[in-house]
Structure 1
Amino acid sequence: MSHIYIFSPSSAVRDKAAFKRGLKRLRAQGHEVEIDADALSSHMRFAGDDDTRLKAIERACASGANIAMISRGGYGLTRLLTQLPFKSIAKAVDKGTQFVGLSDFTAFQLAVYAKTQRITWQGPALGEDFGPESEPDEIMQACFDDLCLEQGEGTGWRMPSTPSSPMLPSVKVNDAVLWGGNLAVLTSLLGTPYLPMVKGGVLFLEDVGEHPYKIERMLTQLFNAGVLKQQKAIVFGQFTSYKLVTHDKGFKLHTVIERLRSQLKTPVLTGLPFGHVATKVILPIGAKVDLATDGRDAFLVWGHV
Structure 2
Amino acid sequence: MTVPAPVHTHAHDDHECGHGCQHDHDGPLSLTVFSAAGVIAKAATLRLAVKRLRAHGFDTQLDDSALAKSQRFAGDDATRLAALHRVAASGVSIAMSSRGGYGFTRLLDGVDYAALQRSIEAGTRWVGHSDFTALQLALLAHSKGAVTYAGPMANYDFGGESVDEVTEACFVEAMRGELEAVGFKTEAGFDGLDLKGTLWGGNLWMVCSLLGTRHMPRIKGGILFVEDVNEHPYRVERNLLHLHQAGVLDAQKAIVLGRFTDYKPSPLDRGYTLKTVVDYLRSVTSTPILTGLPFGHVPTKVTLPVGAKVQLVVQGRDVLMAW
Short-chain TM bin? over 0.9
Amino acid corresponding to residue 256 of structure 1 in structure 2: V
Contact 2:204 2:227 in 1 (8 A): yes
> How many positions carry a matched residue from both structures?
295
Question: Could you tell me which residue of structure 2 aligns to residue 7 of structure 1?
Answer: 34
Question: Could you tell me which residue of structure 2 aligns to residue 132 of structure 1?
Answer: 160
Secondary structure of the corresponding residue to residue 167 of structure 2: helix
1:284 aligns with 2:277: no
Question: Could you tell me which residue of structure 2 aligns to residue 108 of structure 1?
Answer: 135
CA distance in 2, matches of 1:157, 1:273: 7
Q: How does 1:144-159 map to 2 (within 5 A)?
A: 144-159=171-186
CA distance in 1, matches of 2:318, 2:147: 26
1:28 aligns with 2:50: no
Q: Could you tell me how far 1:169 is from its partner in structure 2?
A: 4.4
Contact 2:125 2:175 in 1 (8 A): no
Contact 1:171 1:267 in 2 (8 A): no
Moved over 2 A (4+): 165-170
Indicate the percent of aligned positions where both proteins have the same amino acid.
Answer: 48
Q: Show structure 1 runs of 5+ residues with no match.
A: 160-164
Q: Show structure 2 runs of 5+ residues with no match.
A: 1-27
Question: Could you tell me which residue of structure 1 aligns to residue 218 of structure 2?
Answer: 197
1:263 aligns with 2:284: yes
Q: Could you tell me how far 1:57 is from its partner in structure 2?
A: 0.3
The CA RMSD measured in Å over matched residues stands at 1.0
Of the three residues 52, 72, 75, the one matched with 2:102 is 75
Residues 3-35 of structure 1 deviation map (CA, whole Å, 9 limit, x = unaligned): 001100101011323212111111122211121
CA distance in 2, matches of 1:11, 1:80: 13
Secondary structure of the corresponding residue to residue 250 of structure 2: helix
Q: Could you tell me how far 1:168 is from its partner in structure 2?
A: 3.3
Of the three residues 107, 118, 121, the one matched with 2:149 is 121
1:93 aligns with 2:114: no
CA distance in 2, matches of 1:148, 1:289: 17
CA distance in 1, matches of 2:42, 2:137: 27
Amino acid corresponding to residue 219 of structure 2 in structure 1: V
Question: Could you tell me which residue of structure 2 aligns to residue 239 of structure 1?
Answer: 260
Question: Could you tell me which residue of structure 2 aligns to residue 222 of structure 1?
Answer: 243
Residues 248-281 of structure 1 deviation map (CA, whole Å, 9 limit, x = unaligned): 1111111000000111111110010111111111
TM-score, scaled to structure 1? 0.95
CA distance in 2, matches of 1:192, 1:278: 32
Amino acid corresponding to residue 241 of structure 1 in structure 2: D
Question: Could you tell me which residue of structure 2 aligns to residue 183 of structure 1?
Answer: 204
